[in-house]
Amino acid sequence: MVHENPIDYDTLDEEYARHRGANPRVLRALVHGASLGGAARVLEIGCGTANYARAIAATTGAPCVGMDPSIGMLAQPTAGASDVRLCQGAAGQLPFRSGSFDLAFSVDVIHHVPDTRSYNRELRPLLGPDGRACTVTDSEEIIRAREPLATYFPDTIEADLRRYPPVSRLVREMEAVGLADIAVDAVEMAYEVGDMAPYRAKAFSCLHLISEASWREGMVRMEADSARGPIRGVSRYVLIWGRGAGGRPVQSGESR
């Protein structure tokens, strides 16, 4: 059973800060795909507790801006970093001048955006002459094959297929608003799930979209399997790249 109630991320801020971190494969893809160095200007849209902005700042020395509509997320101690400037705001209300950024990106945010075409249209002018836009999201194939979420909480499949826009549609919209050299890449990382705390705390938003009974049934099975040994996990993402005016296109496979 799927719940239709919207998620209040101000009530999830502490669990996100405690249990959600930057995926190292996504981080590497962003840094290399956009050729980021210490002089790059970076914007993370829908940053939450600013995991990726902080990681990029620490990795490259680049000054980063993190923007999120949730004051609770931005107020978490993990969100603060000397090289990350935080501001409240949402897609559709980007308060920046044209040409402000060399990379503007979002990770697992696009499914929260009501009008994705308008979002991309608003994003394009913010890019500098060699600027990149990157939307990191989940495809239908990824959602159906998530481990361990789809395995133990199968109702999350329907819930997320209803809210995640298809990758093909996002590509068409990016092309339609004038972003150039569209490239689609993917990253994958296998891991072992030994800690049940993120699942008990519902630190994944899709767990708030299924019934309490479905969640409890999944937790019973998951904890029983965990008692016999680590559970297999696989983290997969699709990265959709676009380029502003001028500059070098992202090469196929470059962000792997």
Residue 74: pLDDT band with limits 50, 70, 90: confident
Model confidence, pTM: 0.84
pLDDT by residue (tens digit) across 165-202? 999 999 999 999 999 999 999 999 999 998 899 999 99
pLDDT by residue (tens digit) across 98-140? 999 999 999 999 999 999 999 999 999 999 988 999 999 999 9
Mean pLDDT of 40-66: 92
Q: Identify the CA nearest to 28 among candidates 53, 56, 49, 65.
A: 56
Alpha-carbon distance of 158 to 150, in angstroms, equals: 10
Residue 4: pLDDT band with limits 50, 70, 90: very low
Residue 48: pLDDT band with limits 50, 70, 90: confident
Peptide bond preceding 148: is omega within 30 degrees of 0, i.e. cis? Answer: yes
Residue 77 vs residues 3, 54, 113: alpha-carbon distances, Å: 31, 12, 26
> Using only C-alpha atoms, what is the Rg of the chain?
18
Whether the per-residue pLDDT at 246 is higher than 70: the answer is no
Model pLDDT, residue 106? 96
φ/ψ bin of 48: left (φ > 0), alpha (ψ from -120 to 50), beta (otherwise): left
- Angle, CA 60 vertex, CA 57 and CA 65 arms, to 5°: 30
Domains of the chain and CATH, by start = 9-139+164-190+237-243 (3.40.50.150)
